[in-house]
Amino acid sequence: MQNSANKLNADDDHVYNPPKPGRLSKPKKSRKKQDFWVIIGFLAPAMVIYALYVIYSIAMTFYYSLFEWTGIDSTLVFKGLENYITLMSDGVFWTSLQNNFLLVGASLFTQLPIGLIMALLLFSPVKGMRFFRSVYFMPFLMSTVAIGILFIYIYDGNFGIINQFLGQIGLESWQRGWLGNEETAIWAVIATVCWQFAPFYMVLFRAAIVGIPEDLYEAADIDGASPRKKFIHITLPLLIPTIITSSILSIIGSLKYFDLIYVMTDGGPNNSTELMATYMYEQTFTNFNMGYGSSISFTMFIIAFIVTAFIVLFDQKRKGAN
């Protein structure tokens, strides 16, 4: 992995030995044909396993969503789009959709900025960087089970660390059972989700910042640019691709989020923290409505697809404009 460009002339010991192109003299058409096989060769291994598990599952989800089916017997009753029609007038679904968008917003505007700040801090002249780097990452490497249980206790109305802290600084009136209150529960969980995932974006941003050529900064230093100027004129523009990638990851991740809600509130109290995925899970495995559950899944899929396609196309335009 440490090979650098100077290995370029090393002997070719690979099994795959492409026919040496007769530089420039090659007819255009066969070049295209050759490209075609290269594309296939590089994509196929991933595509095979991906189609086998993922595309197949998505197709089956859509298929199931057209039926009334318990998931545990062998009678599937064809219903056409009826499940989707029911879904449109299902109040809990709309609540959960709304919660999902809250989570998307919170992820984009909290998780990513915090991740970026942490990444930038790692490049600042703070001593003991290695230590900070390790600790900052810890939320992301803790298992969701541990996080769930700990935060249930942290938010507890009677023993919780947050209420103890509020008591100490004289804000007794703010104390409450954070997860038991319909207004605060969703925010309490969203905060936990952001806490868990911010370090991942820190890693992503760090990897991107590391890739920015040093000489750009050196040139700026010669011009006497302030750190803020350097950030705005060098770092930030070069980070835009990473910001877009992170946004895609965090939007999709938030739209299908499940884990901590399931551990911490199970969608309650009174469905106030229900997400599309937890609602789908309840319908599929608690209420034995596999068909209906699948229609929720597929709707989630469509929503995520539209949002993502929009970003990808927008991103392509941006690149075209540059």
Partner 1 sequence: MFKRTMGLLAMIALLFTTACTNSGGDSSSGSSEGSDTLTMWHIETGESEKALEDAVKRFEESHDGVNVKLVRQENDPYKTKLSVAMGGGSPPDVFHSWGGGWLENFVKADQVKDISEDIDTENYLPSALTPAEFDGKNYGAPLAMDIVPVWYNKDMFEEYGLEEPETYEELLSIVETLRSNDIIPFSLANQSKWPGSFYYMYLAERIGGPELFNEAFNREGRGFDDEAYVKAGEKIRELVEMNAFPDGFNGMNFDTGQSRQLMYSEDAAMIIQGNWMLGTTRADMPEFEEKLGFFMFPSIEGGQGSKQDIVGGVSPVFSVSKKTDNPDLAAELVNELTSKETAQQLANDDGAISAVKGVEYEDEYVQEINTVLEEAEYMQTFYDQTLPPEVAEAHLDTTQALFGQSMTPEEAAKEVEAKAKEVLE
Partner 2 sequence: MLKKLRQIPLYMLAIILLIFTGLPFLIMVSASFKDQMEFMSSPWAIPEEFSFANYKLLIESDFFRFFFNSVLVSVISVVVVIILAAMASYPLARMKFKLNRPLFLLFLVGMMIPIHTTLIPIFLLTKNLGLYDTIWALPGPYIAFALPVSIVIFTQFLQDLPKELEESAKMDGCGHFRLFWRILFPLLTPAVATVAIYNFIQIWNEFVFALVLTNSEGNATLPLGLREFYGQFSVNVPGIMAALTLASLPLLLVYLVAQEKIVKGIAAGSVKG
Contact positions vs partner 1 (CB under 8 A): 33, 36, 39-40, 44, 47-48, 51-52, 55-56, 59-60, 70-74, 149, 152-153, 155-159, 175-182, 185, 265-266, 268-271, 282, 285-290
DSSP-derived pairing of the beta strands 67-68 and 77-78: antiparallel
289 contacts 176 by C-beta, under 8 angstroms: no
CB 197 within 8 A of CB 250: yes
- Least Å distance, CB 191 to partner 2, is 11
Strand partners, 137: none
- Residue closer to partner 1 (CB basis): 35 or 221: 35
- Measured from the CB of residue 219, what is the shortest distance to partner 2 in angstroms? 15
Distance, CA of 67 to CA of 81 (rounded, Å): 8
Closer of 15 and 222 to partner 2 (Cβ): 15
CB of 296 to partner 1, least distance (A): 15
Give percent helix, percent strand, percent coil of the chain, each to the nearest 5: 70, 0, 30
Q: How many CB atoms lie within 10 A of CB 42?
A: 10
CB of 181 vs partner 2, minimal distance in Å:
21
Task: Choose between 55 and 210: whose C-beta lies nearer to partner 1.
Answer: 55
Closest separation in Å from C-beta 250 to partner 2: 11
What would the two tokens of residue 243 be?
Answer: 């910001």
CB closer to partner 2 out of 72 and 183: 72
**Which option in partner 1, partner 2, none does residue 300 bind, with CB closer than 5 to 8 A by kind?**
partner 2
Nearest CB to partner 2, comparing residues 95 and 196: 196
158 binding partner (options partner 1, partner 2, none; Cβ < 5 to 8 Å by kind): partner 1
The residues near 140 (Cβ < 8 Å, ≥ 6 apart) are 196, 197, 199, 200, 203
Q: What residue 82 binds from partner 2, partner 1, none (CB within 5 to 8 A, per partner kind)?
A: none
Question: Within a 10 A sphere around the Cβ of 253, how many other Cβ atoms?
Answer: 17
